[in-house]
Structure 1
Amino acid sequence: MLKQIGNYLENKWSLRLLTGFYFIAGLNHFINPEFYIPLIPAFFENPEKINILSGIAEIILAIGVFFYPSRKTASYLIIAMLLAFIPSHVYFIQLGSCIEIGLCVPEWIGWFRLLIIHPALLFWAWKSGKSSSVLY
């Protein structure tokens, strides 16, 4: 079953979905910065700049995954970016999975995002980097 999932994550539709996912997420950093900025741990300086850089990185990496010659590098950089986002997930859990005037969910959802969704995104990026599909 894992092999079937892995094969699916390397196909054209999965790559298109990954590209769209990160492109839209990147744009959302500019459209709704008030959603992301409170999620940046307080010990990081200049959360506005971090939010902008994150958005730019997601957009550039989405475009990189779309094109075969840059796909592997872009996929590995998405993995690095996702690993860099882990402190934000931990910070969110430490806040009780609730940001004042923002995102507020049951604490188990914060843990689910960190322990299930985040590793799934890492795996998706890794498998996408192995794809030789041409999307254009």
Structure 2
Amino acid sequence: MQEATQKKPWSAWLMAAAYFLAGINHFRVPEFYLPLIPDYLGHKILLNNLSGVAEVVLALCLINARSRKWAAWGIIAMLLAFVPAHIWMIQKDGCLDPNGLCVPVWVAWVRLLIVHPLLLWWAYRCCKTTTATS
């Protein structure tokens, strides 16, 4: 008999909580996220709201084992869509708002080259379903 099992469901639940809270935060504190959106994309408020909705919906889909695999792929797509924001921060020398969000440029590089790939790996790895025989 074959059944689909989740390797680490606690990891998916942790990821769901993180993305759910991050998504809600897009609406609670939009002024934090708006400078992260590159000027050349325009429509910053719309993009911020879409990002928040996507994070909340994907987080909720992670909770359900049936939709977990597709939610993980959605998170991977979303994270890839966020790469321009990381590059934007590097281009701005880590300071997107002189009165607000400023980090050393090396922090922006670490976010792009280490943290972001780890988040991609987490979404890919922890939410993969495997087939086990019993």
TM-score by length of 1: 0.87
Identity across matched positions, percent: 50
SS at match of 2:12: helix
Residue 102 in structure 1 maps to residue 100 in structure 2 = yes
SS at match of 1:122: helix
Shift of 1:14: 1.3
Q: CA RMSD in A?
A: 1.4
Contact 1:27–1:55 (8 Å) recurs in 2: yes
Q: 1:87 aligns with which of 77, 84, 94?
A: 84
| Greater percentage in helix | 1
Q: 2:12 aligns with which of 12, 15, 19?
A: 15
Q: 1:61 aligns with which of 58, 63, 88?
A: 58
Q: 1:72 aligns with which of 62, 69, 72?
A: 69
Q: 1:115 aligns with which of 93, 113, 116?
A: 113
Contact 2:12–2:127 (8 Å) recurs in 1: no
> Which one is further off, 10-19 or 108-117?
10-19
| Structure number with bigger Rg | 2
SS at match of 2:67: helix
In 2, Cα distance between equivalents of 1:129 and 1:42? 33
In 2, Cα distance between equivalents of 1:131 and 1:63? 17
| Consecutive unaligned residues in structure 1, runs of 5 or more | 1-9
In 1, Cα distance between equivalents of 2:86 and 2:107? 11
**Matched length:** 124
In 2, Cα distance between equivalents of 1:87 and 1:42? 11
In 2, Cα distance between equivalents of 1:102 and 1:73? 36
| Greater percentage in strand | 2
In 1, Cα distance between equivalents of 2:93 and 2:64? 40
**Paired position in structure 2 for 1:4:** none
Q: Which has the higher contact order (CA 8 A, sep 6+)?
A: 2
